[in-house]
């Protein structure tokens, strides 16, 4: 039988830096330590939902991701007695965050790995998402394939996973009494996955089909992929999360095992538990389950730095399947993790003021006043480990052309760069953003997403908790400043998605 422990020696030590005193041999010895009990019978896994790859303001992203992936959420009640987050480290380096909320008898248990598609080795695109799939597909040393799925189904819970550029997360939403069992299963597959060649062959076909159906058969998705590959010249965000087809076809057992061995480690993971549970209980259970998994090597996430953009780049896709033309313009901007203090908050508010809702400037100007757009908006993808993008998009209405929309967008940006934003619109944008966090606090699953995504991209519990205060402190001058500094029309990347018209 192949076990992960026997394979570590075959894996190249890419992307990693040993912690003091640790050697590969010690790691192999450590790998033998955990044995978790066998608990449930075998059954075929239920249908899983697809990977999530969204790039927008972190909270909006959390909301959207939740709506797509979480089928069980707690009802919102009138009381407002949620606890604050408690965080601590296990001895093996695994970070744990607990946010109690006793209004409904449910817990959300999420394990976030600090590993995403942007950490993949060149030529191995899609491996992060592939390994996410294999975590559900393969047996472990202690559990046959499908046992975990069966256990979750039997207790009426739900579970799933998603892969993004900077992280991969697995979650279960269950009754509090099932928390220990979920932790035991997750801790087991963190360490004991037992991949076979057969798992690789069948699941590789699944991800190839996923790529065909979700990207290649969807002109908008093809376009988005090309825009990313053009916007980013050096940063690995240029490579799609799902991977390039010709590289996916070649992913093999050794690639998967090496990736799993390097990155699926407690000291490369964050556990977030929200809902009807107390921190002391989670701590005791975490020590009993995850605490028994040996730490891996310390990993440094060193990535290429994006060069400054000094050109205007365009990408055009004309496709017979497109009925409504669309454009999106993107700029490379700092994320919450890379920005100077206050800058990312100002970009968040700029996106809100420009195109975050139907009171925004672009909506009012392009849809209401000029009537030239069917849609127009802006977003800022703040939750990234490295630099991120600011996007403005739109579709023309009636006889209007994309060029008319672009001229109106440029004029609106120029107005903000010259005159700034008003105190009223800034206050309104702040209120909307802060309110969205208050709303999020009513749902433990949203909370788990917010904390997890922030921690997996270099942030801290304090960053999440102090975010409303930092938003409140942003000045109109700061918003004007980031607009002038980053939204330079001649230093942008625009994608045009156009219908094929008869000549």
Active site residues: 132
Closest CA to 129 of 114, 115, 149: 115
Q: Which residue number, 95 or 210, has a Cβ lying nearer to Zn ion?
A: 210
Q: How far is the CB of 167 from Zn ion (least distance, A)?
A: 15
Site for Zn ion contains 248 (CB under 5 A): no
Site for Zn ion contains 65 (CB under 5 A): no
Site for Zn ion contains 353 (CB under 5 A): no
Q: Which residue number, 130 or 393, has a Cβ lying nearer to Zn ion?
A: 130
Q: How far is the CB of 380 from Zn ion (least distance, A)?
A: 26
Q: How far apart are CA 184 and CA 189, in angstroms?
A: 9
Site for Zn ion contains 69 (CB under 5 A): no
Site for Zn ion contains 115 (CB under 5 A): no
Ranges of beta strands (E only) in 286-353 are 313-319, 326-333
Residue nearest Zn ion (C-beta atom) = 51
Q: Which residue number, 50 or 83, has a Cβ lying nearer to Zn ion?
A: 50
Site for Zn ion contains 385 (CB under 5 A): no
Q: Which two tokens stand for residue 322?
A: 């497109």
Cα-trace Rg, the chain = 23
Site for Zn ion contains 128 (CB under 5 A): no
Site for Zn ion contains 51 (CB under 5 A): yes
Q: Which residue number, 51 or 128, has a Cβ lying nearer to Zn ion?
A: 51
Tell the residue number behind the tokens 């969204």, with chain if given: 54
Site for Zn ion contains 487 (CB under 5 A): no
Phi and psi (nearest 5°) for 168?
A: -135, 130
Site for Zn ion contains 231 (CB under 5 A): no
Site for Zn ion contains 476 (CB under 5 A): no
With CB under 5 A as the rule, give the number of residues binding Zn ion.
Answer: 2
Q: Which two tokens stand for residue 57?
A: 């303001």
Ranges of beta strands (E only) in 35-192 are 86-89, 95-100, 107-113, 158-163, 168-174
Site for Zn ion contains 127 (CB under 5 A): no
Q: Which residue number, 264 or 380, has a Cβ lying nearer to Zn ion?
A: 264
Please identify, among the stretches 18-26, 46-54, 76-84, 144-152, the one whose residues bind Zn ion according to the rule CB under 5 A. 46-54
Please identify, among the stretches 49-57, 99-107, 269-277, 374-382, the one whose residues bind Zn ion according to the rule CB under 5 A. 49-57
Closest CA to 231 of 348, 345, 391: 391
Using the Cα atoms of residue 99, residue 103, residue 109 and residue 115 in order, give the sign of their dihedral.
Answer: negative
Ranges of beta strands (E only) in 11-142 are 86-89, 95-100, 107-113
Binding mask 194-213 for Zn ion (x = CB under 5 A): ----------------x---
Q: Which residue number, 119 or 210, has a Cβ lying nearer to Zn ion?
A: 210
Q: Which two tokens stand for residue 277?
A: 């549970």
226 and 219 Cβ atoms separated by less than 8 Å: no
Site for Zn ion contains 135 (CB under 5 A): no
* Residues contacting residue 2 through CB under 8 Å, at least 6 positions apart: 194, 195, 196, 257
106 and 182 Cβ atoms separated by less than 8 Å: no
Site for Zn ion contains 350 (CB under 5 A): no
Q: Which residues bind Zn ion (CB under 5 A)?
A: 51, 210
């Amino acid at each position: 039988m192949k076990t992960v422990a026997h394979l570590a020696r075959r894996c190249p030590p890419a992307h990693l830096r040993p912690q003091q005193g640790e050697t590969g041999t010690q790691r192999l010895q450590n790998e033998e330590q955990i044995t978790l009990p066998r608990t449930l019978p075998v059954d075929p896994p239920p249908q899983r939902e697809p990977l999530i790859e969204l790039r927008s303001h972190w909270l909006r992203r959390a909301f959207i991701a939740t709506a797509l992936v979480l089928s069980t959420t707690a009802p919102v009640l009138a009381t407002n007695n949620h606890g604050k987050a408690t965080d601590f480290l296990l001895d093996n380096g695994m970070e744990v965050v607990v946010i109690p909320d006793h209004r409904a008898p449910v817990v959300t248990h999420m394990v976030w790995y600090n590993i995403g598609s942007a950490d993949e080795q060149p030529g191995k695109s899609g491996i992060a998402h592939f390994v996410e799939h294999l975590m559900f597909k393969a047996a472990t040393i202690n559990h046959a394939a499908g046992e975990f799925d069966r256990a979750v189904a039997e207790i009426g819970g739900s579970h799933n996973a998603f892969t993004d550029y900077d992280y991969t997360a697995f979650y279960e939403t269950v009754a509090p009494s099932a928390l220990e069992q979920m932790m035991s299963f997750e801790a087991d597959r963190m360490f004991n996955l037992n991949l076979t060649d057969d798992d690789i062959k069948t699941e590789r076909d699944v991800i190839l089909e996923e790529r065909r159906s979700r990207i290649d058969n969807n002109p908008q998705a093809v376009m988005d992929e090309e825009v990313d590959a053009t916007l980013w010249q050096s940063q690995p965000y240029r490579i799609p999360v799902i991977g390039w087809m010709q590289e996916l076809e070649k992913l093999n057992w050794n690639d998967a095992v090496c990736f799993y061995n390097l990155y699926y480690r407690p000291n490369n993971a964050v556990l977030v538990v929200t809902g009807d549970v107390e921190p002391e209980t989670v701590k005791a259970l975490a020590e009993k389950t995850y605490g028994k998994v040996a730490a891996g090597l310390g990993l440094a996430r060193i990535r290429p730095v994006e060069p400054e953009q000094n050109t205007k780049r365009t990408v055009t896709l004309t496709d017979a399947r497109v009925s409504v033309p669309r454009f999106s313009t993107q700029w490379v901007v700092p994320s919450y993790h890379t920005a100077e203090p206050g800058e990312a908050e100002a970009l968040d508010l700029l996106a809100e003021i420009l195109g975050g809702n139907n009171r925004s400037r672009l909506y009012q100007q392009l849809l209401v006043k000029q009537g030239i757009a069917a849609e127009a908006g802006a977003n800022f993808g703040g939750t990234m480990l490295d630099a991120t993008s600011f996007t403005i998009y739109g579709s023309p209405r009636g006889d209007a052309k994309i060029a008319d929309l672009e001229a109106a967008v440029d004029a609106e940006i120029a107005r903000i760069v010259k005159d700034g934003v008003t105190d009223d619109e800034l206050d309104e944008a702040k209120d909307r953003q802060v309110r969205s966090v208050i709303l999020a606090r009513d749902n433990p699953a949203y909370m788990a997403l917010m904390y997890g995504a922030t921690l997996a991209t270099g942030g801290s519990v304090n960053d999440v908790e102090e975010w409303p205060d930092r938003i409140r402190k942003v000045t109109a001058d700061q918003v004007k400043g980031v607009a002038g500094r980053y939204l330079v029309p001649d230093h942008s990347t625009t994608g045009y998605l156009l219908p094929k018209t008869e000549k």
